[in-house]
Structure 1
Amino acid sequence: MSYVSPKDLATRAIDAGEAKVFYSTRDTLIRSYMAGAILALAAAFAITIGVRTGEPLVGAVLFPVGFCMLYLLGFDLLTGVFTLVPLAWLDKRPGVTLGAMMRNWGLVFVGNFLGAMTTALMMAIYFTYGFSVEPDAVGQAIGIIGEGRTVGYAEHGAAGMLTLFIRGVMCNWMVSTGVVGAMMSDSLPGKVIAMWMPIMVFFYLGFEHSIVNMFLFPSGLMLGGDFTVGDYVFWNELPTVLGNLVGGLTFVGLMIYATHAKTGPARPRKLRTTSPAEEEPAGSLVS
């Protein structure tokens, strides 16, 4: 069968986290660069669909195509390594140190950012004919998204920061469920279905994904959004990264590890007080 049991799923997740720690710097940067670029293109695709159809749900339904592509090609997102690599560290895999984990996170962050920025620049050129005209309707929508998700949070002060953080937590709860969910099946259709559902949920509900935002906000600034780089960093990217870390690790990685890799003690069976011969046959009548 193509279905993988939860216990084997936990082992696969730990093994995957261990493998990522030992990628070379070159491979880690290439894989994370391509992941950021593809996910950013999928975000542009989904927003374009939402603007042109007037129905954001259609864009959300189709957005996971980018995530499925990058996962199946073996590329890495920061949200995924936030969940998988710590499991190998907790499992005390040889060579998986705290320093090695932080190195992996740092390299993936840089690669994702460079990839998303590349797509942001290309899409800004696409929307404006090389910055020679005003952005089209889709470009204007991206600028508005950038404003709403920076200064929009800032207007609410601490409550806005809390909301931003929680949206980051809930985002990687769903995204990492997709990452781990793909390991539940050995068939291509099974992997795609398991990834598609939670990714669609995160995108439609407007949760905050640090890598998607690496595309949205730089491109929003290029397309005339009324916010600053400081607004983006403080009122979105940093709280989102922290929320993504907490959400993926807490609600996905640690939960699977705690109950499937390190199970609790089994419930003791009730001891027999009579022998099978002394027990009353099922369905018998007692006078």
Structure 2
Amino acid sequence: MSDAGNQARTGAGKDQGPDVHPPKRIAEATTWKGEQKAGMDTPVLAVLAALAGVYIAFGGLFFLLAQAGADAMPYGAAQVLGGVVFSLGLILVLVGGAELFTGNTLMVVAWAEGRAGFTPVLHALGIAYVLNFLGSVAIALLAFWAGLHMAGDGAVGAAALRTAERKSGLGFGPALASGVAANMLVCLAVWLAFGARSAADKVLVIVPPITAFVALGLEHSVANMSLIPFGWLVKAGAAPEFWAAAGTDPGTYPALGFGGLVANLVPVTIGNLIGGVLVGAAYWFAYLRPKQASGR
């Protein structure tokens, strides 16, 4: 293995300079990480993917808390606040260590480099997606059973309903386009985190892109795996006192249900795949393909 490859694995040979490694070093680290993820033992991958779903769901719940009563704030300020707190999810994934479907679309770099086969990459992405979903839904259920929707005199539950209804009612085209843009920003956050030298550096580079995607109202499939089910649970199972406190009723949310969940996740997942592949392929072309052409 080359010295660059060893440095990407171990972090040895760090140069003096900025807190984030240069793009070429990040590309090499992304290749190695993609190879590692594609070859991961399936039970380990499943556990780490379930954890990623849990972590992103925690970020989603934090987002809903920030949105409770957001009508009293200017729209932009409320959205930015929601984005900042939602960053918790990806921070837990990347600093704590977990396998997130959307970020793992960067495995395209390892595939393009010939370091991971197409079938292992698809297998790893599929396992991550399914277990992300299970982990996300588990937290949505726990949050509902814990009565989180009643917090703030029903304000958190009302925010969950509004958020889930908006996402469930998106058309295929807007959801697809939103999914592309969202995962470009998520993968840029992951890319920068791969180049960070410390946990603090990772946090600093993760927050701005994640804040941007959430504040812009873009669509992230794994986030929606908890946000939509939680809103659906509130609609289907909240007690009458919730509806009285929140000042709304179930009929206000006609799109919210299983059909709305599927109608959102299908185009958003496709868009997330496209967005992640675009980012990974662009950086592979810029920093790794010329090496291949020169007979590296």
TM-score over 0.5 (shorter chain): yes
Q: Contact 1:35 / 1:70 at 8 angstroms: preserved in 2?
A: yes
Between the aligned residues of both structures, percent identity stands at 28
Distance 1:214 1:265, change over 3 A: closer
Determine the structure 1 residue equivalent to 2:99: 76
Determine the structure 2 residue equivalent to 1:88: 110
1:41 to 43, 58, 61: 58
Q: Contact 1:127 / 1:138 at 8 angstroms: preserved in 2?
A: no
Q: Contact 2:30 / 2:191 at 8 angstroms: preserved in 1?
A: yes
The amino acid that maps onto 1:230 is G
Distance in 2 separating the partners of 1:81 and 1:215: 19
Q: Contact 1:124 / 1:139 at 8 angstroms: preserved in 2?
A: no
SS at match of 1:73: helix
Do structure 1's residue 122 and structure 2's residue 149 form an aligned pair? no
**1:17: how far off?**
0.5
Deviation larger for 171-180 or 191-200: 191-200
Determine the structure 1 residue equivalent to 2:42: 25
SS at match of 1:223: helix
Determine the structure 1 residue equivalent to 2:261: 232
Q: Contact 1:127 / 1:136 at 8 angstroms: preserved in 2?
A: no
Determine the structure 1 residue equivalent to 2:80: 57
Determine the structure 2 residue equivalent to 1:258: 285
Determine the structure 1 residue equivalent to 2:27: 10
Deviation larger for 223-232 or 177-186: 223-232
- The one-character-per-residue Cα deviations of 1:122-165 (angstroms, maximum 9, x if unpaired) are 11122368x9x9x82211221222222223x2xxxxxx321111
Unaligned runs of 5+ in 1: 154-159, 267-287
Determine the structure 2 residue equivalent to 1:141: 159
Higher helix share: 2
SS at match of 1:23: coil
Determine the structure 2 residue equivalent to 1:275: none
Determine the structure 2 residue equivalent to 1:156: none
- The one-character-per-residue Cα deviations of 1:170-211 (angstroms, maximum 9, x if unpaired) are 000000000011122212222211111101101111100000
Q: Contact 2:58 / 2:88 at 8 angstroms: preserved in 1?
A: no
- The one-character-per-residue Cα deviations of 1:85-123 (angstroms, maximum 9, x if unpaired) are 221111111xx2221111101110111001100110011
Determine the structure 2 residue equivalent to 1:197: 208
The amino acid that maps onto 1:221 is W
The amino acid that maps onto 2:268 is T
> Which has the higher Rg, Structure 1 or Structure 2?
1
Q: Contact 1:39 / 1:211 at 8 angstroms: preserved in 2?
A: yes
Q: Contact 2:168 / 2:261 at 8 angstroms: preserved in 1?
A: yes
Determine the structure 2 residue equivalent to 1:277: none
TM-score (norm 1): 0.82
Q: How many residues align?
A: 251
Distance in 1 separating the partners of 2:291 and 2:45: 35
Q: Contact 2:21 / 2:196 at 8 angstroms: preserved in 1?
A: yes
The amino acid that maps onto 1:232 is L
SS at match of 2:114: coil
Distance in 2 separating the partners of 1:223 and 1:125: 10
SS at match of 2:97: coil
Determine the structure 1 residue equivalent to 2:240: none
The amino acid that maps onto 1:68 is I
SS at match of 2:197: coil
- The one-character-per-residue Cα deviations of 1:215-274 (angstroms, maximum 9, x if unpaired) are 0111111110532212210x2001000000001111x101110001113899xxxxxxxx
